[in-house]
A and B are shown apart, each in its own frame.
Chain A
Amino acid sequence: MEIFIAIAAVLGMATIFGAVLGFIAIKFRVEGNPIVDQIDSILPQTQCGQCGYPGCRPYAEAMANNDEAINHCPPGGEATIQELAELLGVEVIPLDQEHGEEQELPSVAYIREDECIGCTKCIQACPVDAILGAAKLMHTVIVDECTGCDLCVEPCPVDCIDMLPVAIEQNTWTWDKPAGVGESSVERIPVTNIQEAS
């Protein structure tokens, strides 16, 4: 007799917990795939497709769902690989050179405007809609929105798009890292070895 009571009790509990868990699973369902969002937030959003996917998010999805390697993003470079490795708990591996090399300086596209024939090919290529123009009219790049993905250069029939490195100006300049142990920096501030003048 007791055995039946025990079984009934266990079954009853299983039913209740199952119902509760099932309810929670529906009620508090997480929309979307959070890991994809996290990976996507690490990727540089250049949308250049060098990773072999049509944009950063598709690559993020591939990493999350298909165990795609984390070293296929040249614009992100080492820093991105490091962050991805940390997030996904995998080893840091060097950038896969097959997908391209990490660029030293960021660059943006410039259209040589008097050469543009207004074919709109570049507009169609730009993944972030950073090009302005209309058919048969001069086109121009919204430099602040250009990610430097390079995708507009190829389609231009008159080759009037240049990728130029972003110039460093006073307001974008930052201090260099000091040379390190064993080196003395010549222009060092503060001047530490001040002598009391006699």
Chain B
Amino acid sequence: MSRNTWKFHGGIHPPQNKQQSVSASIRQLPLPDKLILPLQQHIGAPGKVLVSVGDRVLKGQLLAQAKGFVSANLHAPSSGTVIDISDQPVQHPSGLPGKCIVIETDGKEQWCEIHPIDDYRQMDATQLLATINNAGIVGMGGAGFPSHVKIGTQQTISTLILNAVECEPYITSDDLLMRERAAEIIEGLQILAFILNPKEILVGIEDNKPEAIAAMRRAAQESTEANPGAPCAVTIVSVPTIYPSGGEKQIIQILTGKEVPSGGLPSDLGIVCHNTGTVHAIRNAVIEGKPLISRITTMTGNLVTDPGNIEVLLGTPVSHLLQHTRTSANQIHRLIMGGPMMGFSMRSTEIPIVKTSNCIIAADDQEFPDAPPEQPCIRCGACAEVCPAKLLPQQLFFYSKSKEIDKAKHYNLMDCIECGACSFVCPSQIPLVQYFRFGKGEVRKSKIETDKSDRARMRFEAHQERLEKEAAAKEEKRQQRAAANALKKEKQAKAKLEKEAAEAANPSTAASTAQESSNEPSNNDADEALETLKSNATKASKRYQQAKKALQMAEKNGADNIDKLREKILQLETKASDAKKALKEALPSPAKKIPAKSDATPNNTPKETDTSAVIAAATARVKVKKAQNALMAAEASDASQEVLEHLSTNLNTARTELEQHAPSEPTTGEAQ
């Protein structure tokens, strides 16, 4: 069963240090008192919490539901009571706390209702996919990408790969899982094959795990014998030991010779790649109906007295693991979650085990001494030689350091898989990966900033446009009003002319001529009347302009004698109303006259004259309003007496005019 394998660029051979943790078989620990379950244990949106503090939960009960497509469910690993939903220290390199559901276990381990599937071959693929989705399974090799997203790909899959390489030093969880539960893993692969219908299933295992290879081969053989009709056989491929052959792109290249393009996905090549632990969890979800609530974690490091692999409930605090593996916690120099190449340092032992925690290393300063100080890059090129992504780490280093993110991007910084091979070989001890992570952070930040500033620009422009439109609309209204006023005056003049003409001339002829054209001089009287009215109109508008100017002046140089002015204004007000009354009595209203006239002259359309009268009245009303406003404004701004007097005269004139046109109209706005 030897199959051709390919090589990827670069790679390193760090000391393996796996033997410490492979001698003991997988074991369980006593139930911890408290389980701390971070909502964010996967890539994507954190789930929506379904329980509240005080709720009793059963083992396997759904605690948080996936929000959106790229998200994952979270279940209770044991029965107990929810005692807290709050920020706790979690598995994040920043050390920032994250929202967690804390369960106090009751020791009963009481399962909720579960639905094992007897024969998955009777189900259809979407049902199985839903089962996997509901079980909250994510990539357990470290990335934590929700598995149903990968499995639910729309592309046709020709190759299903089991990534059982486990190339990182110290970690042996997949190794032990394969040694002890090979048949279950093969079963999981068959389920995936049933869903995806690939042409071949490849299992890549590094040749430093001969027991695992043997166990898997045996299981694969048995599975083929047991189900002769199985869609496709499982091929176990032993691959050379080199770090980082367990990278997704790397294992694909090793097994198929195909390179996943930059920015592409394996499914573009018709390949889906899963980790051993993930496939095992999928098998448990389908065959046993159990959601993902536990995982195998390697406990190792020279401070651990009983190293080995532990089947641990999710949410178990690391301190519980340390205690039950007899670890001298007070000597810990570095406590690492994940491997020594791609893991991260934990700052608290209360951090819980999550779906992606494949290994905990507790080491003293003998095993993991502090890194020597960084030296300048000597351009030796050693880093470029080992980079599995075929990048130029020294260039990336310079550009990341100087924040030249465009150049760094141009050198494909985003393709760096952060494997750490370059840092490992750098003779100058430059923490290259950390520079790259920093650089990637800058790239991401600048992207967010650009997006935000683009949005701000759009919103600002929309805002400006809106303001301009509003201003334009106002201006237009103002002009319309001015035009309407002019028109009204013209009409008023026309109406007066008609009236005069009708009065003067023979009723029938006068009416007809007036209707034809108001400008046509039917007789001298009418002509004269028109002229006076026109001049009156211009005078009125002139007066209005003057009043406006006066108001502005008053506003500019306000006077001190406010009280006096107030008195004066009161006097003016009374005077104005007196004058108005007098006028009312003295002047027979023309508006009243018109209907009388039109009775006498049946040819003259009463409707038209009525309209003109109404319009004239409206104009007069507007004038009164304006004059009043001007007066009020002047009063408010302490105008000089002269100005006030002028304004009040204006007001009076305007009121008189209004009286003429609409005597019934109440002169509003007197009470201020």
Residues of B close to A71: CB separation below 8 A: none
8 Å CB contact of A56 from B40, B373, B424, B457: B457
8 Å CB contact of B445 from A174, A190, A195: A174
8 Å CB contact of B456 from A145, A170, A183, A184: A145
Tell which of B105-113, B289-297, B433-441, B509-517 binds the partner.
B433-441
B370 lies within 8 A of A186 (CB)? yes
From known contacts A168-B96, A176-B438, A181-B374, infer whether A190 and B341 are also in contact, taking CB-CB under 8 Å. yes
Once bound together, how far apart are the Cα atoms of A174 and B98, in whole Å? 15
From known contacts A40-B457, A45-B460, A178-B438, infer whether A195 and B367 are also in contact, taking CB-CB under 8 Å. yes
Interface hub of B17, B96, B420, B434 (most chain A Cβ within 10 A): B434
Q: In this complex, what residue of A is CB-closest to B436?
A: A175
CB distance from A129 to the nearest CB of B (A): 5
A173 lies within 8 A of B341 (CB)? no
Q: In this complex, what residue of B is CB-closest to A47?
A: B460
Contact mask A156-198 → B, CB, 8 Å, 1/0?
Answer: 0000000000001110011111111111111111111111110
Question: Does B372 belong to the interface (CB within 8 Å)?
Answer: yes
Once bound together, how far apart are the Cα atoms of A180 and B377, in whole Å? 11
CB distance from B286 to the nearest CB of A (A): 32
Q: In this complex, what residue of A is CB-closest to B374?
A: A181
Once bound together, how far apart are the Cα atoms of A76 and B426, in whole Å? 36
Contact mask A110-134 → B, CB, 8 Å, 1/0?
Answer: 0000000000000000111110000
CB distance from A51 to the nearest CB of B (A): 14
CB distance from A33 to the nearest CB of B (A): 15
B98 lies within 8 A of A185 (CB)? no
**Interface residue count for B (Cβ, 8 Å)?**
64
Residues of A close to B424: CB separation below 8 A: 190, 192
From known contacts A170-B96, A191-B334, A197-B17, infer whether A175 and B441 are also in contact, taking CB-CB under 8 Å. yes
Interface size bucket, A side? 35 or more
A189 lies within 8 A of B373 (CB)? no
8 Å CB contact of A193 from B19, B371, B456: B371
Question: Does A140 belong to the interface (CB within 8 Å)?
Answer: no
CB distance from A41 to the nearest CB of B (A): 8
CB distance from B72 to the nearest CB of A (A): 16
8 Å CB contact of A170 from B14, B40, B430: B40
Question: Does B54 belong to the interface (CB within 8 Å)?
Answer: no
8 Å CB contact of A147 from B93, B437, B456, B466: B456
8 Å CB contact of B437 from A43, A169, A175: A175
Question: Does B519 belong to the interface (CB within 8 Å)?
Answer: no
B96 lies within 8 A of A175 (CB)? no
Restricting to B80-96, which residues have a CB under 8 Å from any CB of A? 92-94, 96
CB distance from A14 to the nearest CB of B (A): 43
CB distance from A46 to the nearest CB of B (A): 7
B343 lies within 8 A of A189 (CB)? yes
Question: Does B342 belong to the interface (CB within 8 Å)?
Answer: yes
Question: Does B603 belong to the interface (CB within 8 Å)?
Answer: no
Interface hub of A45, A56, A126, A196 (most chain B Cβ within 10 A): A45
B462 lies within 8 A of A129 (CB)? yes
From known contacts A145-B456, A197-B20, infer whether A170 and B342 are also in contact, taking CB-CB under 8 Å. no
A196 lies within 8 A of B17 (CB)? yes
Contact mask B446-486 → A, CB, 8 Å, 1/0?
Answer: 00010011111101111110100000000000000000000
Question: Does B667 belong to the interface (CB within 8 Å)?
Answer: no
Question: Does A44 belong to the interface (CB within 8 Å)?
Answer: yes
Contact mask A35-56 → B, CB, 8 Å, 1/0?
Answer: 0000010011111000000011
From known contacts A184-B371, A197-B302, infer whether A174 and B15 are also in contact, taking CB-CB under 8 Å. no
A196 lies within 8 A of B372 (CB)? no
From known contacts A127-B460, A197-B17, infer whether A174 and B444 are also in contact, taking CB-CB under 8 Å. yes
Question: Does B264 belong to the interface (CB within 8 Å)?
Answer: no
Q: In this complex, what residue of B is CB-closest to A128?
A: B459
A179 lies within 8 A of B19 (CB)? no
CB distance from A174 to the nearest CB of B (A): 3
Once bound together, how far apart are the Cα atoms of A100 and B146, in whole Å? 47
CB distance from B134 to the nearest CB of A (A): 25
B456 lies within 8 A of A128 (CB)? yes
Restricting to B366-381, which residues have a CB under 8 Å from any CB of A? 367-376
Question: Does B431 belong to the interface (CB within 8 Å)?
Answer: yes
Question: Does B219 belong to the interface (CB within 8 Å)?
Answer: no
8 Å CB contact of A190 from B420, B454, B455, B462: B420
Q: In this complex, what residue of A is CB-closest to B340?
A: A191
From known contacts A128-B460, A181-B375, infer whether A188 and B431 are also in contact, taking CB-CB under 8 Å. yes
Residues of A close to B40: CB separation below 8 A: 170
CB distance from A61 to the nearest CB of B (A): 13
A192 lies within 8 A of B463 (CB)? no
Contact mask A131-154 → B, CB, 8 Å, 1/0?
Answer: 000000000000001010000000
Once bound together, how far apart are the Cα atoms of A186 and B371, in whole Å? 7
Once bound together, how far apart are the Cα atoms of A182 and B372, in whole Å? 9
Contact mask B211-238 → A, CB, 8 Å, 1/0?
Answer: 0000000000000000000000000000
From known contacts A179-B374, A196-B15, A197-B17, infer whether A189 and B96 are also in contact, taking CB-CB under 8 Å. no
Question: Does B169 belong to the interface (CB within 8 Å)?
Answer: yes
Contact mask B409-441 → A, CB, 8 Å, 1/0?
Answer: 000000000001001101001110111011011
Residues of A close to B641: CB separation below 8 A: none
B434 lies within 8 A of A185 (CB)? yes
Residues of A close to B17: CB separation below 8 A: 194, 196-197
CB distance from B428 to the nearest CB of A (A): 9
B429 lies within 8 A of A195 (CB)? no
From known contacts A169-B96, A189-B341, A191-B340, infer whether A182 and B374 are also in contact, taking CB-CB under 8 Å. yes
Residues of A close to B369: CB separation below 8 A: 193
Once bound together, how far apart are the Cα atoms of A130 and B434, in whole Å? 37
Question: Does B120 belong to the interface (CB within 8 Å)?
Answer: no
CB distance from B11 to the nearest CB of A (A): 14
Residues of A close to B92: CB separation below 8 A: 170, 173
A197 lies within 8 A of B19 (CB)? yes
A190 lies within 8 A of B433 (CB)? yes
A130 lies within 8 A of B420 (CB)? no
Residues of B close to A46: CB separation below 8 A: 456
A194 lies within 8 A of B344 (CB)? no
Residues of A close to B98: CB separation below 8 A: 170
Contact mask B381-415 → A, CB, 8 Å, 1/0?
Answer: 00000000000000000000100000000000000
The 7 lowest CB-CB distance pairs between A and B, nearest first, are A174-B441, A190-B420, A45-B453, A196-B15, A45-B456, A175-B437, A191-B340
20 A-B pairs, CB-CB below 8 angstroms? A47-B460, A130-B459, A168-B96, A170-B94, A170-B98, A173-B92, A175-B437, A177-B401, A177-B435, A178-B374, A178-B438, A179-B374, A185-B434, A187-B334, A188-B434, A189-B341, A189-B433, A194-B368, A196-B17, A197-B20
Q: 20 other contacts beyond A181-B373, A181-B376, with CB at 8 A cut-off?
A: A45-B452, A45-B460, A46-B456, A57-B461, A128-B459, A173-B94, A175-B437, A177-B401, A177-B438, A178-B434, A178-B438, A183-B373, A190-B340, A190-B342, A190-B423, A190-B433, A191-B336, A193-B369, A194-B340, A196-B15
Which B residues form the contact surface with A (CB < 8 A)? Answer: 14-17, 19-20, 40, 92-94, 96, 98, 169, 302, 334, 336, 340-345, 367-376, 401, 420, 423-424, 426, 429-431, 433-435, 437-438, 440-442, 444-445, 449, 452-457, 459-464, 466
